[in-house]
Copies of this chain bind each other. A is one copy, B any other.
Amino acid sequence: MLSQKAKYALKAMIALATQDDGELLQAADIAERQNVPRKFLELILLELRKNGLVRSQRGKLGGYALAKPADTITFGQIIRIMDGPLAPIPCASLTGYRRCADCRDEKACAVRKTMREVRDAAAAILDGMTLADATGTDAAALKAAIGA
């Protein structure tokens, strides 16, 4: 299950991705637009900033913006920061592998094999989905819209 936190993070990042290039968006604005508790959202944005996906400016007229182009930030990155590995079970994870305490023969474990398949399928979708895809404002779409 995706946590509320990760869901809010995705929504916030999508909101930031709709902004013009360097434009800041304030936590309160995002909170209102996306219907998310403001203080909780601040915690989330802080964590995203510490992980290099968002930049912030303090003080009056401060706010948040994406730290990188929208087409270089994926749902997978955001979810891993908020919720940890995508795999349904640690022994099937690439980014957060951990052996099952109760496992007798990992090589032969059908549960692990299947969960690895699930992880791979989820990763393919989530690591392939960028904020630009989500907002429909990536370079290709823009070009097409302009007619170039």
Contact = CB atoms under 8 A, between A and B. Distances in A.
A43 to B, nearest CB: 16
Nearest to A114: B129
Interface string A96-115: 00001111100000110011
A29 interface: no
Chain A interface secondary structure, helix, strand, loop or mixed? helix
Contact of A114 (B75, B88, B101, B104): B75
Nearest to A84: B1
Instruction: Please give the count of copies of this chain that the complex contains.
Output: 2
B121 A7 contact: no
A135 B122 contact: no
A10 B134 contact: no
A2 B34 contact: no
Contacts of A133: 110
A14 interface: yes
